[in-house]
Amino acid sequence: MVDMPRTDPGAGISRPAGWEGIVADWSSDQRAFKNVSWGKAMMWIFLLSDTFIFSCFLLSYMTVRMSTVEPWPNPSEVFALNIGGRHIPLILIAIMTFILISSSGTMAMAVNFGYRRDRFRSASLMLATALLGATFVGMQAFEWSKLIAEGVRPWGNPWGAAQFGSSFFMITGFHGTHVTIGVIFLLIMSRKVFRGDFDRERRGFFTSRKGNYEIVEIMGLYWHFVDLVWVFIFALFYLW
């Protein structure tokens, strides 16, 4: 921190709170985000832009679903599975939801243990998060293969409106890509934490800058966002 004065998060002066605080923080030629480092602020702004991307996907899905004259395939039936001779609707998606929520829980605790400088627990929880994320992607791959085998294509499917396939592959594909990228970064971060990079201020291989445990929280922001997007996809695409 000492040799990076530009990332000083706001010099510890007491600031007004509430609406006055918003005006005071944003007015005049100064930093708007007082006690947030540039890394965290930039991750939030990236997530904001990603929000708009997923919003556009969900909006186009809404538009094609509302304007089609063909019946929309019933997701409850499409994503049902036969387990032990019983036909359970939407069960695969429910399990995927619980897995992703659990990975968010382990990630939140990894951040907490990171700030406590308990690097073994922090790294193991991040590893657990990565494993849960990989499980999620695996189940998504299973779901895709099942649907492709049943004849779902971006241009048509056996049950109704052709737009079902294109919306499905676009939305879940983009989300799955985000999860995959998250898993890769979790593995990298987990290794860095386990090795004690942030205790010994080892310089990063890419940026050549010293890191600290806030990087775990920034990683966490990305991971929770992936979970957050799934909350919306689950509600609007699978349950609607």
| Window 41 to 80, contacts with another protein (CB under 8 A) | 41, 44-45, 47-48, 51-52, 55, 59, 62-64, 66-69, 76
Beta carbon nearer to another protein, 66 or 149: 66
Beta carbon nearer to another protein, 83 or 101: 101
Site string for another protein, 75-114 (x = CB under 8 A): -x------------xx---x--xx--xx-xx-xxx-xx--
Beta carbon nearer to another protein, 148 or 235: 235
User: Site residues for another protein, window 202-221 (CB under 8 A)?
Assistant: 213-214, 217, 220-221
Nearest distance from C-beta of residue 115 to another protein, angstroms: 5
DSSP the chain: -TT-GGG---TT-----HHHHHHHHHSSSS-S-TTS-HHHHHHHHHHHHHHHHHHHHHHHHHHHHHH-SSPPP-HHHHT-EEETTEEETTHHHHHHHHHHHHHHHHHHHHHHHHHTT-HHHHHHHHHHHHHHHHHHHHHHHHHHHHHHHTT-BTTB-TTS-THHHHHHHHHHHHHHHHHHHHHHHHHHHHHHHHHTTTTTTPBPTTT--B--THHHHHHHHHHHHHHHHHHHHIIIIII-
**CB under 8 A: which stretch of 28-36, 126-134, 137-145, 184-192 binds another protein?**
28-36
Beta carbon nearer to another protein, 56 or 148: 56
Beta carbon nearer to another protein, 183 or 218: 218
